[in-house]
Amino acid sequence: MLKARPPGPPTRWFGFPLIGEIKRDILGFYCRMQHEYGDSVFMQLGPYRDYSFFHPDQIHEVLVEKAKAFVRFKRPLDVLRQWNGDGVLITEGEQWLSHRRLLQPAFHVKRFHTYAQSVVDTTTRLLGEQVPRESTVNFQATMTDLTTAVICRTMFGTDLGTTVADIRRAVKILARVALNEMFQPFTWPDWLPLSGKAEKRWAMQKLDTTIRGFISQRRQAGGDAGDLLSMLLLAADEEGDGCRLTDEQARDQCVTIFLAGHDTTAAGLTWLGWILATHPEFSEKAAAEVDVVLGGRAPTFADIPRLGIVERLVKESLRLYPPAIAVFARQAVQDVQIGGWDVPRGSVVRLMSYITHHDPRWYPKPDRFNPDRFLPERMTTLPACAYIPFGAGPRVCLGQSFAMMEMTLVATLLLQRYRIVPGPGQTTPILDPSLSLRPVGGLRLTLTPRS
């Protein structure tokens, strides 16, 4: 016999008024749910029994202990599948396992020395071009250009050149489309003459033709160019059926890695820039560490373990402003118990990393920036899933080590080269919780070269 459901808001009209509230202010809505009802909240949203769990122990149950009792909720995946195809982000079961095994070697630590050099070279070049002297820049756009250039260099061994602006626009369009369509019960066909459909078709085609062009060029050239695309095209699933990826499968994996590999990292670096600009006491301390460790030379992958202050700045920035404000919603494939509540098969489960990261039980004065929370001795006191910027469990983000490496090296180069302050008229940014958490209207920062 099922236990009583967790508390939650009253349901009217099949929960559609609640869906409207969530769409208007998703962070404010779920913060209010936790404040009013506690760590476990139940809602009826349309046809779905919807459970939200905010306690780290409950999150650990869903993502780690009882991960096999869940799959990712189908609706958001169907939206992303329109342009991601059947990449590792989308697939489930044996297909996902085979894809993950094929991709895993790309993120082995032995390849990170080469990746790190690409990050440093690309960042040095782009910053030299865009910020040669004191400049006030749209830091969000600069970081998006940077992470796009980095993923192109590490994945395809080349640059986007003049198409970078089009790709940035395409990704921005698809992020907006995804957010809108995820709140709809179904997607209208793209051929309909509806508002935004032509723009969506253009964005999908631009992304698709760009990636397919890289794959075609590499197939014709043959051999191993030493980049991630070469590894994908040459890899075989030795633990499975030994098959290699077709061009279509390679396209899906490349689009997935390209989008995930630059969009969320750009969002994370944007907020890190705001942190550096508004906390000079920590910025100066980190810059002093960089000067001592590097002595004026460029950083390498081997330097990262000695840049402890910089790494803690990055981790605390990801706590305050996690690019992914929530883990992908799960759907129970069997009856399961979470946090003492019975969750029937077919129920949807939501886990909000942003809210857990701002819970004063795990992070005293949670809105205050304090990188010392991530001193090794303090980390041991945190519950297992109190810090989940990359998720947890079997489906933890495959590129989390790459993202941390990239953010740490970019932060190091920024600290080594510039003093950063808010740009003229830049006020505290308003949060825009689209697919990646960003500042509304971008972020203007002034970068002054250090003498």
Q: Rounded to an integer, what distance in angstroms lies between the CA atom of residue 433 and that of residue 439?
A: 9
227 Cα distance to chain centroid: 22
Q: Given this model, what pLDDT does residue 61 score?
A: 98
Quote the percentage of the chain above a pLDDT of 90.
60
pLDDT, averaged across the chain: 90
* Residue 186 pLDDT: 80
String of b and e for 214-226 (b: at least 16 CB within 10 Å)? bbeebeeeeeebe
**In whole angstroms, what is the distance from residue 374 CA to residue 387 CA?**
10
Percent of the chain with pLDDT over 70: 97
pLDDT at 313: 97
Contacts of 364 (CB under 8 A, 6+ apart): none
Copy the structure tokens of residue 291: 């000067």
Residues in Cβ contact with 26 at an 8 Å cutoff, skipping those fewer than 6 apart: 325, 433
pLDDT for position 50: 96
C-alpha closest to that of 315 among 390, 379, 371, 386: 371
pLDDT at residue 14, as a whole number: 77
pLDDT of residue 402 exceeding 50, the answer is yes
pLDDT digit string, tens, across residues 348-379:
999 999 999 999 999 999 999 999 999 999 98
Stronger pLDDT, 75 or 346, i.e. the higher one: 346
Out of 208-222, 224-238, 411-425, the most confident range is: 411-425
Exposed, middle or buried by CB within 10 Å (0-12, 13-18, 19+), for 128?
exposed
* pTM check: above 0.85: yes
The confidence score (pLDDT) of residue 238 equals: 52
Domains of the chain: 13-449 (1.10.630.10)
**Mean pLDDT, rounded, for 419-443:** 93
Q: If pLDDT is split at 50, 70 and 90, which confidence band does 240 have?
A: low
The string over 308-321, giving b where at least 16 C-beta atoms fall within 10 Å of a residue's C-beta and e elsewhere, is bbbbbbbbbbbbbb
SS (H, E, C) the chain: CCCCCCCCCCCCHHHHHHHHHHHHCHHHHHHHHHHHHCCEEEEEECCEEEEEECCHHHHHHHHHHCHHHEEECHHHHHHHHHHHCCCCCCCCHHHHHHHHHHHHHHHCHHHHHHHHHHHHHHHHHHHHHHCCCCEEEEHHHHHHHHHHHHHHHHHHCCCCHHHHHHHHHHHHHHHHHHHHHHCCCCCCCCCCCCCCHHHHHHHHHHHHHHHHHHHHHHHHHCCCCCCHHHHHHHCECCCCCCCECCHHHHHHHHHHHHHHHHHHHHHHHHHHHHHHHHCHHHHHHHHHHHHHHHCCCCCCHHHHHHCHHHHHHHHHHHHHCCCCCCEEEEEECCCEEECCEEECCCCEEEECHHHHHCCCCCCCCCCCCCHHHHCHHHHCCCCCCCCCCCCCHHHCCCCHHHHHHHHHHHHHHHHHHEEEEECCCCCCCCEEECCCEEECCCCEEEEEECC
What angle, 0 to 180 degrees and rounded to 10, lies between the N-to-C axes of helices 308-320 and 280-294? Answer: 140
- Cβ neighbours of residue 28 closer than 8 Å, sequence gap 6 or more: none
- Least confident among 157-171, 222-236, 304-318: 222-236
Distant-in-sequence, close-in-space partners of 416: CB < 8 Å, separation ≥ 6: 287, 290, 291, 294, 296, 299, 450
User: How much is the pLDDT for 239?
Assistant: 55
User: In the predicted model, what is the mean pLDDT of residues 18-32?
Assistant: 92
Are residues 337 and 58 in contact, defined by beta-carbon separation less than 8 angstroms? Answer: no
Main-chain phi, psi angles of 338, to 5 degrees: -125, 125
Residue 259: is its pLDDT beyond 90?
A: no
Average pLDDT over residues 412-424: 96
Confidence band for 1, pLDDT divided at 50, 70 and 90: very low
> Which pLDDT score, from 0 to 100, does residue 242 have?
59
The string of pLDDT tens digits covering residues 108-124 is 888 899 899 999 999 99
Q: Which amino acid does the sequence have at 232?
A: L
Q: What is the four-CA torsion angle of 328, 359, 393, 83, rounded to 10 degrees?
A: 20
Average pLDDT over residues 382-408: 94
Q: With left for phi above 0 and alpha for psi between -120 and 50, is residue 421 left, alpha or beta?
A: beta
Lookup result for tokens 């960089």: 290
Instruction: Inform me whether the pLDDT recorded for 382 exceeds 50.
Output: yes
pLDDT of residue 110: 84
**Which of 88-102, 139-153, 214-228 has maximum average pLDDT?**
139-153
